[in-house]
Amino acid sequence: MAEVLDLTISELRELLDSGDISAQELTGLYLERIASVDEKVKAYVTITEKEARDQAREADRKIKEGSASPLTGIPLGIKDVICTEGIPTTCSSKMLKDFRPPFNATVMEKLEAQCAVMLGKLNMDEFAMGSSTENSAFFSTRNPWDLERIPGGSSGGSAAAVAARMCVASLGSDTGGSIRQPASHCGVVGLKPTYGLVSRFGLVAFASSLDQIGPLTRSVEDAAILLEAIAGHDERDSTSLPRPVPRLRKSCQEGLKGIRVGIPKEYFIEGVQEKVVSEIKKGLKAMEEMGAELVDISLPHTEYAIATYYIIATAEASSNLSRYDGVKYGFRAENYSNLMEMYKETRAQGFGPEVKRRIMLGTYCLSAGYYDAFYKKASQVRTLIIEDFKKAFGKCDVIASPVAPTTAFKIGEKVHDPLQMYLSDIFTIPVNLAGIPGMSVPCGFDRKGLPVGLQLMAGHLQEEILFRAAYNLERGLGLERKWPSLN
Ligand code: GLN
């Protein structure tokens, strides 16, 4: 039955509904797979075997009675930054190691309502800060295509688990590229939706004006299924948009004729790996052959995006992470003689080095006398970046670019050089600053056999056209479906 593990959500739906396989059998296969390969990949922080088997039994009952939804009985993995009632939600931090939320995130409620199966919680960079999953307080996740390499981050566990076939699909979160970059490095599809399309209620906050939850999947169609399931207005998130759920699977069916694909000159620069560029060009050619028109565009403020992001994201993080004080949540230091010392010791012991670096940077940017020079300036540059995209989308319908300048790097290669690590986010960060949707679509492999992703971006709430372009690109490339065996 090994090949069952290769199937997509839409393919499994048919098998489940026709009774060729039960949700309990499918869940059992995935649990076996986790037991046999997660030792090597280390994607899961928590495996929820008992809950998964119970959910699968319930799913089988629903399927039998003929009331299955698109995700009924589909085994999924969830990034450990999304609150799951009664189940540890650690953010891969010592601070929340024993935290069991008393409530479910909105996205979890939506998945449960469809009777999807949750196999467990997936490893990440601590509090979603990082690009390699090496900042997890527990262990590093490995890239299933080459175990010596990083899977990307911060949703490294979510991407690795899908590629290693330890879940059919997963949820991640993306503040500056954390879904798209690991998706690209692991050869899966990863989507960051328009800001406000998916509720952030129950997503542990990193940078509230940038964070979004989104799917990591084996196909563009699966990303559409998962996004349709989790999108929608939610009163419990004040930034949630009062919009109907987009009809993505329908728009996938339309062709590429007449679609204008913008190629930003600032994204094809020196320093981008040669094979990344050549694989992306193949993708562009495939789109052109299907009737798309390629147009040159410019996003002139791209070079300021990283500086802008590392002011805004750290400022918001310093405020959001002030709640971890040893009183309200999680970890508390043991030896202290007064309240102030308790706070200090708790935060000194509970947070890892990258999280501390960001809290200090953010606190500095927000402090009296520096606010105007840093935070206010960054907000103004953010507006310029938004304007860049608005202008560009006057000339094109979607924008195509690399996801990351290189394919997956070696574990340990950049971990002691934060600036190098930050630079690898150059092509994903502008999308978060502008609040628009972006998707990583697998488009080839480098000479070492490591996956390369192509990023597609679209205007605010233009998910339908984004999916249309992505679905056709996937088909046009006709990449043979292959996955790392790990045996
Ligand atoms: N790598 C980026 C960072 O370290 C993005 C993280 C994210 O999207 N959560 O901040």
The conformation of residue 408, written as its DSSP 8-state character, comes to P
Which H, E and C letters describe 192-239, residue by residue?
ECCCCCECCCCECCCCCCCCEEEEEECCHHHHHHHHHHHECCCCCCCC
Residue nearest to atom 4 of ligand 1 (CA): 130
379 as an active site residue: the answer is: no
Task: Please tell me the predicted confidence (pLDDT) of residue 475.
Answer: 95
Q: Which residues line ligand 1 (CB under 6 A)?
A: 128-131, 154, 174-178, 206, 313, 425
Give me the chain's average pLDDT, please. Answer: 96
Question: How far, in Å, is the centroid of ligand 1 from the Cα of 423?
Answer: 11
- Model pLDDT, residue 221: 96
Q: Which residue has the higher pLDDT, 273 or 1?
A: 273
pLDDT range class, residue 451, cuts 50, 70, 90: very high
Average pLDDT over residues 91-106: 98
Atom of ligand 1 nearest to the CA of 179: 8
Check whether 1 has a pLDDT greater than 60: no
Question: What is the reported pLDDT for 151?
Answer: 98
Closest residue by CA, ligand 1 atom 10: 129
Residue 2 pLDDT: 47
Write down the pLDDT at residue 132.
98
338 CA distance to ligand 1 middle (Å): 35
Span of 24-28, 210-214, 241-245, 338-342 with lowest mean pLDDT: 241-245
Output the CA 421–ligand 1 centroid distance in Å: 10
Q: Which residue among the candidates 22, 154, 424, 440 is catalytic per the annotation?
A: 154
Residue 480 has pLDDT above 90, yes or no: no
Per-residue pLDDT of 247-263, as tens digits, reads: 998 888 899 999 999 99
Q: What are phi and psi of 457, to 5 degrees?
A: -125, 150
Active site residue 79: yes
The stretch 46-61 carries a mean pLDDT of 98
Among the residue ranges 94-98, 263-267, 415-419, 458-462, the one predicted with the least confidence is: 415-419
CB 276 within 8 A of CB 424: no
Residue 373 has a CB neighbour count (10 Å cut-off) of 11
Q: Which atom of ligand 1 is nearest to the CA of 313?
A: 10
Residue 305's pLDDT is: 98
Atom of ligand 1 nearest to the CA of 181: 1
Mean pLDDT for 115-132 is 98
Tell how far CA 339 is from the center of its chain: 38
- From CA 97, how far away is CA 83, in angstroms rounded? 13
| pLDDT attached to residue 62 | 98
pLDDT at 20: 97
pLDDT tens by residue, 364-417: 999 989 989 999 999 999 999 999 999 999 999 999 999 999 999 999 999 989
Ligand 1 centroid to Cα of residue 461, in Å, is 22
Residue to probe by mutation, ligand 1, list 80, 124, 131, most atoms within 8 Å of CB: 131
329-349: b or e for each residue (b if 16 or more CB lie within 10 Å)?
Answer: ebbbbeeeeeeeebbebbbee
Contact status, residue 52 vs residue 27, Cβ threshold 8 Å:
yes
Pocket test for ligand 1, best of 125, 195, 415 (most atoms within 8 A of CB): 125
Q: Enumerate residues 6+ apart whose C-beta is below 8 A from 25.
A: none
pLDDT confidence bin for 157, thresholds 50/70/90: very high
> What is the rounded distance in angstroms from the CA atom of residue 184 to the CA atom of residue 171?
15
Give the whole-number percent of the chain exceeding pLDDT 90: 92
Rounded to an integer, the average pLDDT of 54-62 is: 98
Q: Is 121 a catalytic residue?
A: no
Is residue 116 very low, low, confident or very high in pLDDT (cuts 50, 70, 90)?
Answer: very high
Look at residue 431 in the predicted model and tell me its pLDDT.
98
Where do the domains of the chain lie, and which CATH numbers do they carry?
2-254+437-477 (3.90.1300.10)
* Backbone phi, psi, residue 172, to 5°: -130, -175
CA of 219 to the centre of ligand 1 (A): 24
- What is the pairing mode between strands 451-458 and 438-445? antiparallel
* Residue 206 Cα to ligand 1 middle (Å): 9
What pLDDT is attached to residue 99? 97
Mean pLDDT score, 267-291? 96
Asked whether the predicted pLDDT for residue 184 surpasses 90, the reply is yes
Atom of ligand 1 nearest to the CA of 177: 8
